[in-house]
Structure 1
Amino acid sequence: MMKGLNKFFEWFVLIFCTGTVLLFLGVIILDIIIKGWPAISWEFISQTPTKAMTSGGIFPAIFGTILLTLLTALFCIPFGVSCAIYLNEYAEETNLTRIIRASIRNLSGIPSIIYGLFGLALFVQGLNLGTSMVSAGLTLGLLSLPYIITTTEEALRRIPNSTREAALGVGATQFESIKDVVLPSALPGILTGVVLTLSRAAGETAPILFTGVAFFITGNSGQLNQEFMALPYHLYMLSTQHQAIEQVRPLAYGTALILIVVVFLLSLTAFYIRYKYSKNDR
């Protein structure tokens, strides 16, 4: 009787907490949809801003966000996955590796604005890359590294040691067993962590604030060595810094809705990849 009652309260608390979070999230998203949907049109998505950002579209910000996310992926995925493979498959369990793992997890908790200041000092000024998309992409890559290393290592740990031993038993080298057996089995978890990390990076404002983002750019905004526009910073400026805040408020809600859609599509991609590879493994 007592065991069944405890089980009931566990499920009740779980459902209540989950429902509360989903309720508040739904209210926020519904408010953004209601206020932002009137601003959404093909012109809003495909055109550039005009008249001091009070009309026109946000295409440069969308393009800049997508390109910046791709650059971030290019910088952080190979290095992050390689570090996780080394820590989990090659490195011995010593005090040094424990310190490295603890440091990586601590880096995950550093505020993003600190990464922005570090990127300003290292990439913009130290390496003389200037305020550019490359500097911003490298900064976001550093911010994303701890998450990718952690999620990749966790995915590798879920693979049983018997799988590795079976590959070694048929004559494969350690590198071949990792490349042909372990990594394909851990791929759903790795890809899920990578995509969710990139979706978070796509919504960051503070790291790119100091390293390359601009409020408005005329002409070609797709050059890697120049400043760029991005949805998070564009939304921040429209919501807090524009001289005609009330006039551009619908555009701000429209920008927020587009940003939510971009992040949602990235998250949906992660779930689809996980489902696809999990289904193939059965």
Structure 2
Amino acid sequence: MDERMKKILMEKPDLVSKFPSWMISPESLERMNKNKNLVILEIAGRDSFAALFKYMGSHDIDGILPTIAYTGTEFGDWHCLFDNIKYLQGRLLTTYISIYPPVLMGAPRLWAMLCGATTALSLSRYGFYSPCIGCHLYLHALRIPLALSLGKVPVITGERESHDGVIKINQLRIALEGYRELYNTFALPLEMPLQHISQNREIEKLLGIPWERGKRQLDCVLSGNYVDEDGNVSYSEKAIHRYLTEFAIPTVQKWLEEILND
């Protein structure tokens, strides 16, 4: 990670579509446009990479563009994400697949609209509040302008409905359907190869290396905000559906239209 990337991660500017030439060089852009099977990959923890390898089992890939998105609530060592890219490069070293330099992206103002300034609205209108569903919608939305600019290429994400029985409110089926609905609006494929894989041992098989869950990734200060004192997660699918369809998705769509028309 060079000093320019460190500066972006310190300042967290709105960076979604007009990337500096040192991040996406004209040469890289020309090469990517020649790839017939380019994909955009989220770079986070182990599920991101397991999702890619699962996807590769049934799809041809000749180019991978790693993307690292930032929110306002993460903490930890950012270097681990760049180290994860090195793992990917080592894993695919003997293949013909091009792995491009990583792209950083984020939009703190959008995150605030979806997750930070919605507590009272969400509680009064939908009867619950958690920033996590809006945050995952935010993370997926960030990659839409880039995917469109590269010819509507697939975006691969490591979303899973269950993690050995552990429920995450932002990865419930109803939430994943909402994320896909946003992508469908732009005729984009949001690939979730791990959606129906619950067992962690299957993830480890795909990775081919020991990788403990939750390691080599950033943490969030709001992690577990929807878990009660007994460790239970209660939710209403109807409320989540209303939150997504009445508020979150329209908010993101309006924001994206402004970005794309700028």
Give the TM-score, by structure 1 length: 0.22
Structure with more helix by fraction: 1
* Larger radius of gyration between Structure 1 and Structure 2: 1
Give the TM-score, by structure 2 length: 0.23
Structure with more strand by fraction: 2
